[in-house]
Chains A and B, each alone.
Chain A
Amino acid sequence: AQSVTQPDIHITVSEGASLELRCNYSYGATPYLFWYVQSPGQGLQLLLKYFSGDTLVQGIKGFEAEFKRSQSSFNLRKPSVHWSDAAEYFCAVGAKGNAGKSTFGDGTTLTVKP
């Protein structure tokens, strides 16, 4: 069975500081990995995805994530956080050709201090 763990329920960073959101997954085959962002009362926006190839993936809004198979991790990073980045972040793992069967983590709430 596939699963996703986001160890940090809530993270607070100062504007301009760097950010790392952790994601650990369990999956029997080669995982398809995703990071989404959700603003209050909104749907999910895809930040980036990893299917294969280069393990460092660049996404939108200055985010990147690194796939580490040995650690079963797919952590999300941003070098300098902006106040508009405050939101809920979800990591998800899925199967090739079946995105809807993705399993989502419980999410990490990011608060940005001025």
Chain B
Amino acid sequence: GAVVSQHPSRVICKSGTSVKIECRSLDFQATTMFWYRQFPKQSLMLMATSNEGSKATYEQGVEKDKFLINHASLTLSTLTVTSAHPEDSSFYICSACGTRSTDTQYFGPGTRLTVL
């Protein structure tokens, strides 16, 4: 139980294009999902908290117009990197908390984004 998937697992795009990453909770409903960014050999940095049916809450320093988050259902949240640039290249990981408990988050496998 508590499986979270991400799609795509890796994506390569040209500078200036937009990329959408999906995060799905497969066997549970998630009212809250989180988006992280991880640089090589570093820890996770929380980018934003995504709540179903409401606007995402962004951490300080994260551009909300750059990283668009939509949480349209209890099982799906999307992160769109708009007008991507090489410095946006990173490993993006989502996590989800179930409706019964927000004490534990379950992580997706991550998406490797490379912007050329």
* Residue ranges of A at the interface with B (Cβ–Cβ < 8 Å): 32, 34, 36, 41-46, 49, 51, 90, 94, 96-102, 104-107
The 3 closest A-B pairs by CB, nearest first: A100-B34, A43-B107, A99-B105
Identity of the chain A residue whose Cβ is nearest the Cβ of B4 in the assembled complex: A43
Q: Are B112 and A41 in contact (CB under 8 A)?
A: yes
Q: Which residues in A have their C-beta under 8 angstroms from that of B108?
A: 43
Q: What is the bound-complex CA distance between A49 and B103, given in angstroms?
A: 10
The smallest C-beta distance from A106 to any residue of chain B, in angstroms, reads 5
The smallest C-beta distance from A87 to any residue of chain B, in angstroms, reads 13
Chain A CB within 8 A of B93 CB: yes
Q: Which residues in B have their C-beta under 8 angstroms from that of A42?
A: 109-110
Determine chain A's interface SS by DSSP, over half rule. Answer: strand
Q: Are B103 and A99 in contact (CB under 8 A)?
A: yes
Determine chain B's interface SS by DSSP, over half rule. Answer: strand
The smallest C-beta distance from B19 to any residue of chain A, in angstroms, reads 18
Q: What is the bound-complex CA distance between A44 and B103, given in angstroms?
A: 16
Chain A CB within 8 A of B49 CB: yes
Q: Which residues in A have their C-beta under 8 angstroms from that of B112?
A: 41
Q: Are A46 and B104 in contact (CB under 8 A)?
A: yes
Pick the contact of A97: B42, B103, B110 (CB < 8 A): B103
Q: Which residues in B have their C-beta under 8 angstroms from that of A97?
A: 102-103
Q: Which residues in A have their C-beta under 8 angstroms from that of B6?
A: 43
Q: Are A51 and B103 in contact (CB under 8 A)?
A: yes
Q: Are B93 and A44 in contact (CB under 8 A)?
A: yes
Binary A-proximity of B86-104 (CB < 8 A = 1, otherwise 0): 0000010101010000111
Identity of the chain A residue whose Cβ is nearest the Cβ of B57 in the assembled complex: A100
Pick the contact of A106: B4, B43, B46 (CB < 8 A): B43
Pick the contact of A90: B44, B91, B103 (CB < 8 A): B44
Q: Which residues in B have their C-beta under 8 angstroms from that of A32?
A: 103
